[in-house]
Chain A
């Protein structure tokens, strides 16, 4: 039973992952990633990580992917141009990545870790991976890491606002200095765009 569940999950997750990479339209890629995450959550359940499976669905497949969808919709479903600056990457890249996979596989299969060949111990504590157990761990043993992570989130949120904040068009509060800055900004943009075309 477990094997069936694993293979369904594994094939689904891998297929969706391949779709993320393969699909031309980023919008579809995002949707493929959502499917991937759903299958991955199933595998998480097999590893007795109920809380993480739930948070993966809720936070990731739910919230984060909505963000992706928004952005993909905002910037439009831009197809990648046919022209490639470095076509050799299309060949070398996958070869090297597969080589990495082979290396990792050799490392895993050839390692002396006897436990790797088992499904893991049976005498795990009751409530392994439940929200309660993780909550205790987080609030007791990993409090500082937890707080640091929350601070990181705050910083990232502020950074996103600064990065994506409105720069042009808000004439209501614009001071002279700001206008000058915007002008300089535009000039720089024009120059960059010109360079881009030139290349």
Chain B
């Protein structure tokens, strides 16, 4: 398979993830969509790593996975905290940033 197929697949996955972030309002699902976008990024890194025959890209992916795990931990921690405080689990309701 040519590398460009992988890149296009990665772009598609990223787009799907982004659409999810934009249309879904449940914070858990938003986080899941972020995971999708991150894994799409990881996929393109791997594809380029294969293209160049260089394994450094694989290490990058590993680091991306670590960062994704951190993001999950903090994000889910926030979700739990929101639930504990009986806040509505809806990203549209969190409007404290309104200018």
Contact = CB atoms under 8 A, between A and B. Distances in A.
Interface residues of A, number: 95
Contacts of A181: none
Contacts, number: 253
A26 to B, nearest CB: 5
B29 to A, nearest CB: 5
Nearest to A40: B39
A196 B70 CA distance: 30
Nearest to A56: B65
Contacts of B25: 80-81, 84
Given A21-B20, A80-B90, A100 B15 contact: yes
A109 B26 contact: no
A116 B2 contact: yes
A177 to B, nearest CB: 20
The binding surface of chain B is classed by DSSP as helix
Nearest to B15: A101
Contacts of B28: 26, 29-30, 68, 71-72, 75
Interface residues of B, number: 75
A93 B92 CA distance: 15
Interface in B53-80: 53, 55-56, 58-59, 61-63, 65-74, 76-80
Report, nearest first, the 8 A-B pairs whose CB atoms are least far apart: A93-B22, A156-B70, A160-B77, A21-B20, A163-B77, A85-B92, A164-B80, A101-B15
B23 A75 contact: no
Contact of B66 (A74, A133, A152, A193): A152
